[in-house]
Amino acid sequence: MIASDIPALEFRDVRKSYGATQAVRGVSLAIDSGQFVALVGASGSGKSTLLKTINRLAPASSGEVVYEGEPVAGLPLPALRRRIGYVFQSIGLFPHMTVGENIGIGPRLAKQPLAPNRIDELLELVELDADMATRMPDALSGGQRQRVGVARALAGHPHLLLMDEPFGALDPITRNALGESVRKLHDELDLTTVMVTHDMAEALLLADRVLVMDKGRIVADETPQALLEGGGGTVAQDLVAVPRAQADRLAELSR
């Protein structure tokens, strides 16, 4: 229980530049264990880059990212990445491996291959049939593929789940169903989740805490409730205004 005093994740003045471009300009914050955090912002706001500083797909240029008390810069790279679940917008299933092989790739790399029943269990977790394990990814629908992507991220029992625009390429119905599934998994498995999205509605509906990024800085750090009540400043409120206006018009139309 000592662990609960340490934040799951902490950013200490994290900066990231690509040449002359500064993508992240000094972010400091802590995320407690068990939180579902949405990182929202427009394209180019630096939200994806900030996420990637955690598993060092984009290592921080300066500052420190601390995961469960350990600076990530000091951890061996493959081991660090295997301890963190990662879900991509492009899904990135390996087209030459079966669904089961895709799910088991992390543990296989760690030389602890998954038992077949564990793969069935993971498929069940993401609400897919166990007989999908032998299929190839190109035989699956987009939504099914991303469910496999989530199962792959969870295979190594991670405490932290990172999602980079996970539902961006999916149709609205699939998107909604998958969002609810992920939130359910987050609660059932006691995960700490950081989800990058440009969709404020998705962030408000799924997350416990919403971080708004603009030009490489965090400009708002609020609960969904606080944002809906007008908190977080102009950039955040501009983003909240869009789904709010849509909801109002839908309400008007159905009256």
Partner 1 sequence: MSEIWQALLNLGDQLSAHVLLSASAIALGIVTALPLAVWASRSATVSRAALGFASLVQTIPALALLALFFPILLSLRAVFGQGLPTLGFLPALLALALYALLPILRNAITAQTNLDPGVIEAADGVGMTFWQRLRLVEAPLSAPYVMAGIRTAAVWTIGAATLATTIGQKSLGDPIFAGLQTQNWVLVLAGCIASAGLALIADGLLGTIEKGLKMRRRLLTLGGAAAVALGVAAAALAQFGGTGERRIVIGAKGFSEQYILARLIGRQLEAAGYSVDYRDGLGSAVAHRAVSTGAIDVLVDYTGTIWTNQMQREDNPPRDTMLEEIIAWESRTSGTHVLGRLGFENAYGLAMPRAAAEARGLQTIADLGPVAGTLTIGGDPEFFERPEWMAVREAYGLRFAERRNFSPTFMYNALKSGEADVIGAYTSDGRIAADDLTILGDPRGAFPNYDAIVLLAPETGNDAAIRAAIEPLIGAIDVAAMRKANLSVDREEDKLSFEEAARQLAERAGL
User: Is 139 an interacting residue with respect to partner 1 (CB under 8 A)?
Assistant: no
Cβ 68 to partner 1 shortest distance, Å: 17
User: Is 18 an interacting residue with respect to partner 1 (CB under 8 A)?
Assistant: no
Tell me, rounded to whole angstroms, the distance of Cα 233 from its chain centroid: 24
User: Is 90 an interacting residue with respect to partner 1 (CB under 8 A)?
Assistant: yes
What would the x/- binding string for partner 1 be over residues 100 to 119, using CB under 8 A?
Answer: -----xx--xx---------
| Residue from 3, 30, 77, 139 binding partner 1 (CB under 8 A) | 77
Calpha distance 238→19 (Å, rounded): 30
Which range, of 65-73, 84-92, 190-198, 225-233, touches partner 1 by CB under 8 A? 84-92
What would the x/- binding string for partner 1 be over residues 47 to 66, using CB under 8 A?
Answer: --------x-x---------
User: Is 145 an interacting residue with respect to partner 1 (CB under 8 A)?
Assistant: no
The footprint of partner 1 on this chain (CB under 8 A) covers a number of residues equal to 22
User: Is 81 an interacting residue with respect to partner 1 (CB under 8 A)?
Assistant: yes
Using alpha carbons only, how large is the chain's radius of gyration in Å? Answer: 19
Nearer to partner 1 by C-beta: 55 or 236? 55
Angle of the 142-154 helix axis to the 116-125 helix axis, nearest 10: 120
Torsions phi, psi for 239 (to 5 deg): -70, -35
Cβ 251 to partner 1 shortest distance, Å: 39
Instruction: Identify the helix (H) or strand (E) that includes residue 14.
Output: strand 9-18
In sequence order, which ranges of the chain are alpha helices (DSSP H)?
A: 47-52, 77-83, 99-103, 105-109, 116-125, 142-154, 172-188, 200-206, 224-228, 233-254
Nearer to partner 1 by C-beta: 94 or 230? 94
Nearer to partner 1 by C-beta: 81 or 175? 81
Q: Which residues contact 238 (CB under 8 A, 6 or more apart)?
A: none
Nearer to partner 1 by C-beta: 80 or 228? 80
Check if the beta carbon of residue 63 is closer than 8 Å to that of residue 12.
yes
| Residue from 59, 69, 71, 78 binding partner 1 (CB under 8 A) | 78
Q: Which residues contact 126 (CB under 8 A, 6 or more apart)?
A: 147, 148, 150, 151, 154, 181, 185
Nearer to partner 1 by C-beta: 193 or 220? 193
Cβ 39 to partner 1 shortest distance, Å: 17
DSSP 170: S
User: Is 42 an interacting residue with respect to partner 1 (CB under 8 A)?
Assistant: no
Burial of 247 (C-beta count, 10 Å sphere; 0-12/13-18/19+): exposed
Site residues for partner 1 per CB under 8 A = 55, 57, 77-82, 86, 88, 90-96, 105-106, 109-110, 152
